[in-house]
């Protein structure tokens, strides 16, 4: 492969500083006792040692848990609308995992469908994604069952591979090529480096042992849509909290609320979850009052409706919903136990 | 009795309960899909009882399912869980005769987050975790490391004074004694109380800035049984569903007041929090306040009135003018 | 933080309809002097006061909240004030623990005949509130 580059891990700080002149850089960060992609402080590259994947997916950086849409107020002259200030800057996410980058591609579809969501899309447009392949996937990961892999570079601009002391760097998109071209301090990759990289990738691929069979899954789910017994059994232990949906990199439901203080108001949108009994209750009532209907919605949206509408499964196998669930509800078990079509 | 003996007996008892039609459901634990993890097992099928397990990772407070299940239930309950069951009986959410409590004298459960911190490894990178009385051996890459068990037990287990269920139909194993002389690691009530007021407030402000309002703390809590939570009211809208730190904090404060006298310090809210907010530093404090003011511990007496509906004509009122 | 000159605390009072509200009325009729810092919400019973009202009032910027009802034994509904007392006891301790000044959460028993006591309570509470900061607890829009 021509054009691949190499950088020593020790020089990552220098590399990020260089990029920092043009971009705001987000790196895996610890916040309190949890992790997410947050603004780089200009020094710390310790994440290289501890980072496997962040608790909050990069979705948070484009579609935050809450955001101000606009403000409004009333005075003698009438109503005034103030648009939320959007800080226009180019940003670069460093070390995004393939599953989370793929998830952004899925969100792109959702946020462009019919209505173009300005909040999400403007952030997305000005962002470069630098992927970092996984050498140590979690036991909850199952990306290889969804046409991806720990080194899938489909939806990143530049892909990094950990080959020990160094990172192996591949340009993926035009924007990625441009950035690499003007970046100093990279050396050309040799055949030996390439061989090392392929070896690492293969080893890592084999570390993902959790598997699901997604062949005809949309058809299978369609066939068992009315199978109440199945869904009741599958959903029995779910406690209807929002962990799996909120931390899912592809879930995008939101709720809109006004905060009114005297004559001043702000309209916020914030994450919502189909797991909640009061979801979409605003107009009339939630048609999915029973828990099994809500669990069915979650599974079917990802594996049936989304593929039917957009041709892609809305799950990237990041495993967060399994890893972070308080009762160990496991979507792979649900998918694997969907009855075969008779 | 060793865990596997308890487990054998549990499977037998549970099977018998279903076979004889004494219960319709069994609620227990089975092996989970991730390393070390266990998961709730809710079943009507007597063959499933062979999957029931008892080990140091049976974390869930299963009584949370009782208000949801219609029909008689045989439930596996540790000390704190059994008190949650009693608390639900006190609140008339369930009837005693509909529940068969299979009590487990609890020697304390292993907190995988503490293990991870102790060894700087994630749980799926560890080999084995074996408890032997007051020691625990954890293997990584084939090498075992030995720690006092108190290093890895949950804070609420370290401070638990009533590890054996008081209310039960079947007690699996001999009563156990509390673990003594231990200080919790994460729950920082004493430290907080020693800091100035502004710092305490700022501490909670920081912590609740992370909250994403997934409501896992509320939904995992057996004492949070309201059909409709006050945060979901829209008229009046007490707080916004938007996760602003102010509203997050109010949500948690009011939740704590609502579960005062119902919270049995099972620690589930803190365990499930994906944002790692030290919720037990709130719930445990409320547990202590209730005990100090009214000498009341949740779930000790199924015939007692719930804390906040009862009163004594003469009660401390030094704060009232 | 230095207090602005002429700053006056805002106090929200939840007064029971049978005793304290009548007491406040009597204070007015008897021309007792007390600070005009209190805004009053009449409630059927002190037992009606949900701790949520208290923290919501603080969230809305009130500097203090006063819950006032009938003396023990005098509740029009027999037990409402006893229940209020338990609830207030845990609420006050808990809110202090998380870092709210104790002065902001106040309670009193004022009977219908105690116009004088009502004036004294409001005077004393207002004075205490002036000694602490203006309520900025929830002001930080981070």
Task: Give the pairing type, strands B99-103 and B170-171.
Answer: parallel
Measured between beta carbons, which residues in chain B are less than 8 angstroms from residue A323? 34
Residue B60 lies in a domain: yes
pLDDT level of residue A126 (50, 70, 90 thresholds): confident
Instruction: Give the per-residue pLDDT at B195.
Output: 96
Domain containing residue C34: CATH number: 3.40.50
Residue B318 lies in a domain: no
Residues of A with Cβ-Cβ distance to B228 under 8 angstroms: 278
Hey, what are B114's tokens? Answer: 């503490």
Q: Is the pLDDT of residue C2 over 60?
A: no
Residues A236 and A326 in one domain: yes
A243-262 tens-digit pLDDT: 999 999 999 999 998 888 77
Residue B17 maps to a domain: yes
A318 with A294, same domain: the answer is: yes
Best of A35, A136, A237 to substitute, by most chain B Cβ atoms within 10 angstroms, is A237
A19-77 residue pLDDT tens = 999 999 999 999 877 999 999 999 999 999 999 999 999 999 999 999 999 999 988 88
Domain boundary among B152, B176, B205: B152
Q: How far apart are CA B208 and CA B53, in angstroms?
A: 36
Classify the C-alpha dihedral B315-B321-C3-C4 as positive or negative: positive
Give burial (CB, 10 Å; 0-12/13-18/19+) of C25: middle
Of all residues in chain C, the percent with pLDDT exceeding 90 is: 91
How far is residue A330's CA from residue A244's CA, in Å, rounded to a whole number?
Answer: 10
Pairwise CB contact (< 8 Å): B320 & C91: no
Tokens in use for A39? 């603004």
Decide if A51 contacts A76 (C-beta within 8 A). Answer: no
Residue A341 lies in a domain: no
Work out the percent of chain A whose per-residue pLDDT is above 70: 98
Q: How many CB atoms lie within 10 A of CB C112?
A: 18
How many domains are contained in chain C? 1
Q: How many CB atoms within 10 Å of residue A213? A: 12
Which tens digit of pLDDT belongs to each residue from B11-39?
999 999 999 999 999 999 999 999 999 99
- Cα–Cα distance, B61 to B75 (Å, whole number): 10
Residue C5 lies in a domain: no
Is the domain of A194 the same as that of A129? yes
Handedness of CA B318, B319, B320, C1 (dihedral sign): positive
Query: Does residue B65 carry a pLDDT above 60?
Result: yes
Residue B321 has pLDDT above 60, yes or no: yes
CB of B70 less than 8 A from some CB of A? no
Cβ pair A314, A106 in contact under 8 A: yes
CA neighbor of A45 nearest in space, from A92, A6, A12: A12
Nearest chain B residue to A291, by CA: B68
User: Is residue B107 located within the same domain as residue B117?
Assistant: no
- Distance from the Cα of B196 to chain C's closest Cα (Å) equals 8
**With 60 as the cut, is the pLDDT of residue A1 above it?**
no
* pLDDT above 70 as % of chain B: 99
**Nearest-angstrom CA–CA distance, B114 and B149:** 11
Which residue range forms the structural domain that includes residue C24? 11-131
Distance from CA of A241 to the nearest CA of B (A): 5
What band does A241 get if pLDDT is binned at 50, 70 and 90? very high
Does the pLDDT at position B299 exceed 80?
A: yes
State yes or no: pLDDT of A2 exceeds 70.
no
* Calpha distance A79→A77 (Å, rounded): 7
Rounded to whole angstroms, how far apart are CA atoms B299 and B166? 9
Highest mean pLDDT (candidates A211-220, B126-135, B246-255): B246-255
Q: Which of B191, B246, B290, B308 to mutate to test the interface with C (most CBs of C within 10 A)?
A: B246
Average pLDDT over residues A116-145: 94
Collapse the DSSP code of B68 into the 3-class scheme (helix H, G, I; strand E, B; otherwise coil) and give the result: coil
Contacts of A127 by beta carbon, 8 Å cutoff, 6+ apart: A61, A62, A90, A91, A92, A93
Give B80's pLDDT tier (boundaries 50, 70, 90).
Answer: very high
Quick one: pLDDT at residue B121? 92
Query: Total structural domains in chain A?
Result: 2
Predicted confidence (pLDDT) at residue A87 exceeds the cutoff of 90: no
What is the total count of domains within chain B? 2
A246/B122 CB distance under 8 A: no
- Which pLDDT does position B165 carry in this prediction? 96
Nearest residue to A96 (alpha-carbon basis) of A152, A145, A173: A152
Note the pLDDT of residue C1: 46
- The pLDDT value given to residue A88: 72
B315 — pLDDT class (breaks 50, 70, 90): confident
What is the mean pLDDT of the segment spanning C127-131? 94
The answer, yes or no, to whether residue B153 has pLDDT greater than 50, is yes
**Tell me: the pLDDT tens digits for C40-63?**
999 999 999 999 999 999 999 999
Pull the structure tokens for residue B8: 């054998």
CA–CA gap between residue C93 and residue C84 (Å, rounded)? 14
Whole-number Å distance between alpha carbons of A330 and A317: 12
Same domain, A293 and A322: yes
Distance between B113 CA and the closest CA of chain A, angstroms: 11
Residue A292 structural domain: 217-336
| Contact at CB, C87 and B230, closer than 8 angstroms | no
- Average pLDDT on A311-336 reads 95
Whether pLDDT at A336 is above 90? yes
Chains in contact with chain C (at least 3 beta-carbon pairs closer than 8 A): B
| Percentage of chain B lying above the pLDDT 90 cut | 87
In tens, the pLDDT along C97-123 reads 999 999 999 999 999 999 999 999 999
Phi, psi of A203 (to 5 degrees): -60, -45
From residue B103, alpha-carbon distances to A258, B6, B172, B261, B279 in Å are 48, 10, 6, 21, 26
pLDDT higher than threshold 90 for residue A283: no
Question: CB within 8 A of B120, min separation 6: which ones?
Answer: none
Question: pLDDT value at position C25?
Answer: 94
- The overall average pLDDT reported for chain B is 94
Query: Considering the domain boundaries, does residue C136 fall inside one?
Result: no
pLDDT in tens, B184-212: 788 889 999 999 999 999 999 999 999 99
Domain-embedded: residue B316: no
Q: Which residues of B touch C59 (CB under 8 A)?
A: 239, 246, 250
Domain of B128 in residue numbering reads as 112-152
**Can you give the pLDDT at residue B241?**
87
Pairing verdict, β C64-69 and C105-109: parallel
Cβ of B216: how many Cβ atoms within 10 Å? Answer: 27
ipTM: 0.93
Residues B95 and B221 in one domain: yes
Angstrom distance (rounded) from CA C17 to CA B235: 24
> In 3D, which of A57, A24, A54 has the Cα closest to residue A42?
A24
Tell which of A31, A33, A329 to mutate to test the B interface (max B CBs under 10 Å). A33
Q: Partners of C42 in the beta sheet?
A: C15
**Chain B residues within 8 A of A259 when measuring between CB atoms:** 240, 242
| Whether residues B123 and B210 fall in one domain | no
- Checking if the pLDDT of A158 tops 90, the result is yes
Q: A189 with A261, same domain?
A: no
- Give yes or no: residues B29 and B86 share one domain: yes
Degrees (nearest 5) of the Cα angle A178, A184, A189? 80
Q: How many CB atoms lie within 10 A of CB C33?
A: 9
Identify whether A342 is part of a domain: no
pLDDT score at A285? 77
| Residue B229 is assigned to a structural domain of this protein | yes
Q: Do B179 and B34 share a structural domain?
A: yes
Query: What percent of chain A is helix, strand and coil (3-state, nearest 5)?
Result: 35, 20, 40
**Is B315 contained in some domain?**
no
Looking at the structure, tell me whether residues B85 and B182 fall in a common domain.
Answer: yes
- Cβ–Cβ gap B205/C140 under 8 Å: yes
3-state secondary structure of A166: strand
The tokens for C44 are 């059927």
Residue at B320 is within a domain: no
Contact B87, B223 (CB under 8 A): yes
Residues B159 and B135 occupy one common structural domain:
no
Same domain, B130 and B250: no
**Reduced to 3 states, what is the DSSP secondary structure of residue A163?**
coil
Q: Does the CB of C100 have a partner CB in chain B at under 8 Å?
A: yes
**B209, B249, B320 ranked by CB distance to C108: nearest:** B320
Per CB-CB distance under 8 Å, the chain B contacts of A53 are: none
Where is average pLDDT lowest: A74-88, A311-325, B244-258? A74-88
Q: Are residues A78 and A11 in the same domain?
A: yes
Asked if C60 is an interface residue toward chain B (Cβ–Cβ < 8 A), one would say: no
Residues B143 and B99 reside in one and the same domain = no
Most B CBs within 10 Å, among A52, A243, A336, to test the B interface? A243
Q: What values do phi and psi take at B135, rounded to 5?
A: -120, 160
Type and span of the H or E element at B48: none
pLDDT of residue A342: 75
CA distance A202 to A133: 11
- In chain B the first and final C-alpha atoms are separated, in Å, by 56
Average pLDDT value for residue range B40-64: 96
Q: What is the pLDDT of residue B233?
A: 85
Which domain-ending residue is among A156, A175, A207?
A207
Burial track A282-318 (b if 16+ CB lie within 10 A, e otherwise): eeeebebeebbbbbbbbbbbbbbebbeeeebbbbbbb
Nearest to B321 among C51, C95, C121 (CB): C121
- Measured in angstroms, the CA of B44 and the nearest CA of chain A are apart by 10
In this structure, what token pair is assigned to residue B111? 């907190």
Distance from CA of B275 to the nearest CA of C (A): 18
In-domain check, residue C121: yes
3-class DSSP state of A268: strand
Report whether A274 contacts A245 (CB < 8 A): yes
Same domain flag for B228 and B127: no
Contact assessment for residue B102 and residue B13, using Cβ atoms and an 8 Å cutoff: yes
């Amino acid at each position: 492969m021509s054009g691949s580059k190499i950088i020593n891990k020790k020089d990552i700080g220098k590399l990020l500083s260089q990029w920092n002149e043009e971009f705001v850089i987000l790196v895996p960060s610890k916040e309190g006792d949890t992790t997410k992609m947050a603004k780089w402080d200009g020094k710390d590259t310790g994440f290289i040692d501890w980072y496997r994947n962040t608790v909050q997916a990069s979705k948070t950086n484009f579609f935050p848990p809450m955001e101000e849409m606009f403000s409004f107020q009333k005075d003698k002259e009438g109503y005034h609308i103030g648009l939320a200030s959007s800080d226009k800057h180019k940003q670069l996410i460093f070390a995004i995992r393939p599953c989370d980058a793929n998830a952004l591609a899925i969100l792109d579809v959702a946020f462009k469908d019919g209505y173009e969501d300005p909040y999400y899309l403007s952030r997305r447009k000005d962002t470069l994604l630098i992927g970092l392949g996984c050498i140590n996937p979690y036991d909850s990961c199952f990306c290889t069952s969804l046409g991806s892999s720990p080194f899938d570079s489909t939806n990143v601009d530049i892909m990094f591979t950990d080959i020990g002391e160094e990172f192996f760097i591949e340009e993926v998109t035009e924007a990625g090529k441009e950035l690499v071209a003007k970046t100093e301090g990279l050396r050309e990759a040799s055949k030996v480096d390439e061989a090392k990289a392929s070896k690492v990738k293969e080893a890592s691929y084999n570390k993902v042992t959790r598997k699901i069979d997604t062949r005809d899954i949309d058809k299978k789910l369609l066939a068992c849509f009315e199978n109440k017994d199945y869904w009741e059994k599958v959903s029995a232990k779910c406690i209807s909290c929002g962990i799996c949906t909120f931390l899912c990199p592809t879930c995008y439901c939101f709720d809109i609320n006004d905060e009114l203080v005297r004559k001043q108001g702000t309209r916020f949108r914030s994450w919502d979850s189909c797991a909640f009994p009061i979801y979409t209750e605003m107009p009339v009532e939630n048609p999915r009052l029973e828990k099994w209907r809500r669990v069915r919605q979650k599974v079917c949206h990802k594996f049936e409706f989304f593929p039917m509408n957009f041709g892609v499964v809305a799950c990237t196998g990041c495993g967060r919903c399994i890893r972070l669930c308080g009762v160990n509800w496991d979507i792979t078990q649900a998918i694997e136990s969907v009855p075969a079509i008779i | 009795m060793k865990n596997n003996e308890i487990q054998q007996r549990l499977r037998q008892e549970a099977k018998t309960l279903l076979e004889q039609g004494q219960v319709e459901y069994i609620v227990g634990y089975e092996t989970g899909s991730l390393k070390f993890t266990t998961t709730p097992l809710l079943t009507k099928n007597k063959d499933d009882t062979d999957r029931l397990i008892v080990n140091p990772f049976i974390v869930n407070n299963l009584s949370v399912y009782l208000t949801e299940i219609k029909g008689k239930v045989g439930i596996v309950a540790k000390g704190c869980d059994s008190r949650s069951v009693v608390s639900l009986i006190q609140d008339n959410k369930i009837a005693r005769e509909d529940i068969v409590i299979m009590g487990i004298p609890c020697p304390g459960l292993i907190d995988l987050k503490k293990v991870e911190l102790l060894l700087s490894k994630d749980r799926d990178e560890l080999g084995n975790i074996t408890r032997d009385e007051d020691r625990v051996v954890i293997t990584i890459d084939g090498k075992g490391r030995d720690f006092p068990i108190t290093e890895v037990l949950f804070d609420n287990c370290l401070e638990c004074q009533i590890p054996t269920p008081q209310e039960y139909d079947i007690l699996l194993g001999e009563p156990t004694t509390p673990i003594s002389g231990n200080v919790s690691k994460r729950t920082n009530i004493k430290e907080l109380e020693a800091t100035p007021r502004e710092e305490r407030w700022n501490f909670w402000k920081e912590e609740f800035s992370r909250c994403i309002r997934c409501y896992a703390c509320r939904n995992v809590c057996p004492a949070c049984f309201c059909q409709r939570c006050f945060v979901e009211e829209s008229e009046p809208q007490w707080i916004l569903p938007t996760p602003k730190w102010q509203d997050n904090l109010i949500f948690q404060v009011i939740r704590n007041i609502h579960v005062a006298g119902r919270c049995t310090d099972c620690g589930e809210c803190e365990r499930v929090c994906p944002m790692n907010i030290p919720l037990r530093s709130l719930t445990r404090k409320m547990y202590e306040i209730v005990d100090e003011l009214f000498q009341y511990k949740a779930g000790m007496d199924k015939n007692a009135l719930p804390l906040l509906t009862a009163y004594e004509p003469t009660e401390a009122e030094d704060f009232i003018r | 933080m230095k207090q602005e000159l002429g700053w006056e605390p805002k106090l929200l009072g939840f007064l029971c309809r049978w005793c304290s509200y009548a007491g406040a009325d009597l204070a007015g009729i008897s021309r007792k002097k007390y600070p005009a810092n209190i805004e009053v919400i009449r409630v059927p019973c002190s037992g009606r006061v949900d701790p949520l009202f208290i923290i919501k009032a603080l969230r809305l910027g009130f500097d203090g909240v006063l819950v006032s009802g009938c003396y023990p034994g005098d509740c029009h509904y027999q037990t409402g004030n006893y229940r209020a007392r338990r609830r207030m006891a845990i609420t006050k301790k808990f809110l202090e623990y998380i870092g709210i000044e104790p002065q902001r959460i106040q309670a009193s028993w004022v009977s219908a005949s105690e116009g004088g006591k009502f004036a004294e309570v409001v005077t004393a509470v207002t004075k205490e509130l002036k000694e602490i900061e203006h309520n900025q607890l929830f002001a930080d829009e981070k």
